[in-house]
Amino acid sequence: MCISNSTCKPHVELAVDVFKTQTPTLISSLKDFFTALPSPKCVEEILATALYQLADTDPDACRWLLRHPQYLEPELDLVEWATQFALKKLQAQGFVREQDFQFEPNGKLHACDRAKVKLSAGNSTAEKLILEEILQVGN
């Protein structure tokens, strides 16, 4: 991580609290506040970590945020993250892009049933929500 865990924890907790409000102006203010952090990568890591925690503590707020990914951009591009996650996981399992699965420009995934099953297996709560909401992968 870009900063120590002890320094990072309060930032993550603050982000989780702000995300729970589901208020776009507060999210924007949070991102402005984080500009003082060492790098854009650091901000991205904190937002991603907070999103993972939010999925475990408040799945409804997490779904809301995932349905409005533009509120985290450009610091955290959820469509790009979800696309790369799915791509790596499917290719590692031997699936072929454009043959077994493909992505629309908005990130929506079209995949054969077998690929969908493999993609959904063994994911964290946050990864499951991201796949469902961003890539619209369901059972």
pLDDT at 72: 96
Residues 17 and 52 in one domain: yes
One domain, residues 89 and 65: no
Mean pLDDT in order along the chain per 10 residues (139 residues): 69 97 98 92 94 95 94 93 91 94 87 91 90 76
From residue 88, give the alpha-carbon distance in Å to each of 21, 43, 52, 102: 33, 23, 19, 13
Q: What is the pLDDT of residue 2?
A: 61
What is the count of structural domains for the chain?
2
Note the pLDDT of residue 114. 93
- Is residue 1 one of the residues assigned to a domain? no
Range of the domain at 37: 8-71
Phi and psi at residue 25, in whole multiples of 5°? -65, -35
27 in the same domain as 60: yes
Helix, strand or coil, per DSSP, at residue 111? strand
Q: Are residues 25 and 66 in the same domain?
A: yes
Residue 103 shares a structural domain with residue 131: yes
Structure tokens at 5: 């865990």
Q: Is the residue at 2 inside a domain?
A: no
- Global pTM value: 0.84
CB 129 within 8 A of CB 66: yes
Whole-Å CA distances, 30 to 11, 77, 103, 110, 127 = 10, 16, 31, 34, 23
